[in-house]
Amino acid sequence: MAQPVDGKFHPLLSALPDRTAARLDERVLRPTFKTMAATDPLFRGINVVSISVTDLDRAREFYGEVLGLGSPLYDLPEAGWIEFSAGGADGNVSVISAESGWTPSTGTTLVLNVEDCHAAVEELRRRGVQCEDAQVFPGFVTFASFYDPFGNRLQMCSPA
């Protein structure tokens, strides 16, 4: 059951320690919404994108060390959730415990920005990551798919 914080409810608060609940309150619950005009955007950006995995310890190592996202911002294996900064203000990446019967995702895809897609492909291959060759759309984007140890497809992109 969700616990109230400042009269508001959040479903994760019952599973999260107090230290995290305070940060979650500041990040998610504190914003207040005025009555919006029809032309006002409802959404203000991406907070976090979650990726299901079958082994949180292995995911912590892959996303934190191999991909270089660093130490988790939130490390809550007891809640089935580890969250990393994606390196900018655009949102974070979390790994969550997969439910029974889960299969890897190759549909909805997290795309991470890199300086040079070709160089990033070579670096990830040196680190043992399965990467496809970069594809270039001249004047638009260079991108490449790569895979986490659980079979989830991710992508990286840079200017063409």
Q: What is the CATH number of the domain that holds 112?
A: 3.10.180.10
Same domain, residue pair 77 and 111: no
* CATH code assigned at 84: 3.30.720.120
pLDDT reading at 23 higher than 60:
no
Stretch 41-67: mean pLDDT:
95
Residue 39 covered by a domain: no
Total of domains in the chain: 2
- For the segment 44-49, the average pLDDT, to the nearest whole number, is 90
Q: Are the C-beta atoms of 86 and 26 separated by less than 8 Å?
A: no
% of the chain with per-residue pLDDT over 70? 78
CB 89, CB 47: distance < 8 Å: no
Per-residue DSSP letter, 12: T
**52 in any annotated domain:** yes
Tens of pLDDT, residue by residue over 86-101, are 987 778 999 999 999 9
Q: Does residue 114 have a pLDDT over 70?
A: yes
* 71 and 127 within one domain: no
Residue 68, domain extent: 11-23+45-102
Asked whether residue 30 is assigned to any structural domain, the reply reads: no
Q: How many CA atoms lie within 13 A of 5 on its CB side?
A: 22
The structure's pTM equals 0.75
Please report the pLDDT score of residue 116 as a whole number: 97
Is 75 inside a domain boundary?
A: yes
pLDDT at 69 over 80: yes
Mean predicted confidence (pLDDT) in 51-55: 97
Query: 81, 102, 123 — which closes off a domain?
Result: 102
In a domain, 89, yes or no: yes
Assess if residue 108 is contained within a domain. yes
